[in-house]
Every structure is written in structure tokens, then in C-alpha cells.
């Protein structure tokens, strides 16, 4: 039996002579190898998630659980980045695989996210920003959210902002974080901590992943560890030497501290303006086997391993239909048409 007969009979069509061009195109699309990489940052239980000032940054753990169950039912294999690259090169007809990666890595990666993947028996990739366990990253974004979440009002500069209701908290976080975003964010946050009588070290430690946690995870067969710079710098904005130091330094730090191979790298922010051809070359020069971006779309056979597309999971999109738009490649096509990647 020829492949055409096989495809025809599976569609209830008698023979290849009756296959028109549209059907052939649809069949060929359905049989093509498809690889979809997902990324997210943090996760929280449903009741906590609903009250977070910046909830789109977090996945609802119940939704993650449902999505992993759905993928299994639909026969998508959940794989490591290593395996995704191998499958992309094989381009086997009908192959369907996804990878999930967590960027930055916070305490909830260890306490809440890895256990979900372990329960499902599928792997997860962690792209670690080494400044988080090293305590050198200020985590202003997280600190600001924590203070807004727990206080009824906050002082920002000469202003006092009411943060009693969840809507007021969301609005305050949105306004203050966008006003601070940029090279002076850490200074704004330090001043904010002083005027609100906040201990930034205690807040940071309550959210950061630690080296002890990573020590536990390095022995987990389902955890693949990759690098995500030392300070979460926007690589395209750095000089050659600073960019190489961030890229190579984070890989070295992880290899030395954890004693595991660290073969893959992910660019912070990861959009077209955050990393370009010069930066892809730096990652190759630093000895990594791949670099992941946040350009939407599917992995293609022709995908260069140093420009891997990844689909960012927005915590507010708790809908399998939206996940299907990523899995089918539609969200990637839309992003390209609209020039928003």
C-alpha cells in the first residue's frame, strides 16, 4: 500500500485519484512533524493566582495540570530541548512533540512546578538566571508585586497609592512597573523599599530559587538545566565583551556549581529587538548547542538551533483553544504577519 492509499483510506477517501490538491495539502500539513516549545516564568495555585497583581506572569497550576493531561490524550510527546532538536532534524512524518521551559527560576519552580511535571512523568527545562540563586539580582519586579499584594497603600516617590482592592493592586503594579522599567529600575526599587520600610533581602529570599534547591533538581532525570544569563540583561543592548560575559559566565557558573552539562541557553526577553544575529553567534562561540528566543511559532527542520522559537504562556490565557493556536503554528504565523515578535 502506497502512502497515498494509506492517507486516503484514513480520511474515508477511496483512492489517490480522488484526492484533490486541497485535501493533499491538508493531509501533508497534518502528517508533518510538529514541534512546539512553550515557556513561562512562575506558577501559582488557582486561589492564589486569582489575587495576584501581575497574574499573567504566572500559570495557574490547575490549568497546567489540565494542559499536560490534554497533550497526553492528543499524543503529543513532552521532551527536553536536547530531544526537540534531535526530532526536528529527523523530521519524521506525524511526529508531535512539545517542550516546556521555565525562565529565570524562582522558588515556585522548585516547590510547585517541578512536582507537576514529575507527577505526569514528563521532563521540564529550567533556564536559570544565576544572579537569582547567587543573590545578586535585585528582583525588583517580584519585590514590587509582593509589597503591592500585601499592603493597603504604598508610597512611590512623593505619591501614596491606594492598593486595597485587587483591581487597585493590578492597576498600581501596571503603572509603577512600566514607569520603572529600564536601566534605573533597581534604584527606583531601592528607594521604594526605604520609603515603605521593606527589607528587600527578605523579600528576595522568599521568592528566589536557591543553590540547595538546584542541587536537588540536578539529580532529577526529568529536569534539564540551561542558562539564562547572570543578571537577566537584554543581550542586544550590551557590548561584545559584556554580552559574552553574561552568556558564557552563566553557563560556567551553573556547570561549576552543579556539576552538570549545561548545553542550552535562552535569551532574556527574547524578542527580535532583544537578540539578533550577532548574539546568536555569541551563544555558539560560548559553546552552547542552542539558543531559545520568544519568537512565536513551531520548530522547523530548517530552524537554526540558535534561533529556537518559543511560545510564551500568558497566565490569563487559560483556554485549550488558545493552546491549540500555538500547537498548530497559527499564533506564530499571526505574529509574523503583524510584526509583533
Which positions touch Zn ion (CB under 5 A)?
103-104, 268
Nearer CB in complex with Zn ion: 103/146: 103
Q: Give exposure, 263-282, as e/b (b: 16+ Cβ within 10 Å).
A: bbbbbbbbbeebbeeebbeb
Nearer to Zn ion, 292 or 307 (CB): 292
Which of 88, 235 has the CB closer to Zn ion?
A: 235
Least distance to Zn ion, CB of residue 108, Å: 14
Nearer CB in complex with Zn ion: 133/268: 268
Judge contact between 97 and 327, C-beta under 8 A: no
Nearer to Zn ion, 95 or 274 (CB): 274
**CA 84 to chain CA centroid, nearest Å:** 15
DSSP H helices, the chain, are 3-10, 21-31, 46-49, 61-73, 81-90, 107-108, 114-120, 131-134, 140-150, 166-180, 185-195, 200-207, 211-217, 240-258, 277-285, 320-328, 330-338
Q: Shortest distance, CB of residue 292 to Zn ion, whole angstroms?
A: 11
CB of 132 to Zn ion, least distance (A): 10
- Residue 289's SS3 state is coil
Smallest distance, Zn ion to C-beta of residue 109, A: 12
Least distance between Zn ion and beta carbon 280 (Å): 17
33 with 301: CB under 8 angstroms?
A: yes
Q: C-alpha grid cell for residue 216?
A: 536537588
**Cβ contacts of residue 66 below 8 Å, gap of 6+?**
320
Q: Are 85 and 307 in contact (CB under 8 A)?
A: no
- Closest among 235, 275, 230, 233 to 249, alpha carbons compared: 230
Residue position matching grid coordinates 480520511: 11
Closer by beta carbon to Zn ion, 8 or else 309: 309
Residue of minimal Cβ distance to Zn ion: 103
Closer Cβ to Zn ion, 33 or 109, answer by number: 109
**Cβ 319 to Zn ion shortest distance, Å:** 24
Kindly state the smallest distance separating residue 106's Cβ from Zn ion, in Å.
11
Amino acid at each position: 500500500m502506497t502512502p497515498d492509499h494509506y492517507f486516503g483510506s484514513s480520511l474515508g477517501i477511496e483512492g489517490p485519484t480522488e484526492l484533490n490538491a486541497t485535501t493533499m495539502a491538508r493531509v501533508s500539513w497534518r502528517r508533518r512533524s510538529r514541534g512546539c516549545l512553550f515557556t513561562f516564568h512562575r506558577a501559582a495555585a488557582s486561589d492564589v493566582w486569582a489575587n495576584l497583581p501581575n497574574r499573567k506572569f504566572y500559570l495557574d497550576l490547575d490549568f497546567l495540570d489540565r494542559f499536560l493531561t490534554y497533550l497526553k490524550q492528543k499524543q503529543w510527546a513532552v521532551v527536553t530541548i536536547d530531544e526537540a532538536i534531535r526530532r526536528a532534524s529527523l523530521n519524521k512524518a506525524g511526529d508531535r512533540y512539545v517542550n516546556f521551559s521555565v525562565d529565570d527560576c524562582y522558588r515556585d519552580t522548585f516547590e510547585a512546578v517541578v512536582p507537576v511535571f514529575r507527577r505526569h512523568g514528563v521532563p521540564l527545562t529550567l533556564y536559570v538566571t544565576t544572579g537569582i540563586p547567587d543573590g545578586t539580582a535585585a528582583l525588583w519586579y517580584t519585590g514590587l508585586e509582593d509589597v503591592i499584594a500585601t499592603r493597603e497603600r504604598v508610597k512611590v516617590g512623593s505619591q501614596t497609592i491606594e492598593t486595597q482592592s485587587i483591581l487597585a493592586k493590578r492597576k498600581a503594579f501596571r503603572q509603577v512597573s512600566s514607569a520603572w522599567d529600564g536601566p534605573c529600575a533597581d534604584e527606583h526599587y531601592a528607594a521604594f523599599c526605604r520609603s515603605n520600610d521593606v527589607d528587600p533581602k527578605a523579600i528576595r529570599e522568599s521568592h528566589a530559587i536557591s543553590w540547595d534547591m538546584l542541587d536537588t533538581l540536578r539529580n532529577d532525570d526529568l529536569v534539564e538545566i540551561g542558562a539564562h544569563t547572570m543578571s537577566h540583561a537584554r543581550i542586544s543592548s550590551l557590548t561584545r565583551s559584556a554580552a559574552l560575559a553574561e552568556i558564557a559566565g552563566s553557563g560556567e557558573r551553573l556547570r561549576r556549581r552543579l556539576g552538570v552539562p549545561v548545553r542550552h541557553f535562552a535569551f532574556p526577553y527574547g524578542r527580535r529587538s532583544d537578540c539578533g544575529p550577532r548574539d546568536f553567534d555569541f551563544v555558539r562561540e560560548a559553546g552552547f548547542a542552542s539558543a531559545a528566543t520568544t519568537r512565536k511559532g513551531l520548530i522547523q527542520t530548517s530552524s537554526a538551533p540558535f534561533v529556537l522559537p518559543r511560545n510564551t504562556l500568558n497566565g490569563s490565557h487559560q483556554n485549550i483553544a488558545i493552546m491549540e493556536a500555538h500547537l498548530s503554528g497559527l499564533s506564530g504565523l499571526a505574529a509574523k504577519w503583524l510584526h509583533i515578535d
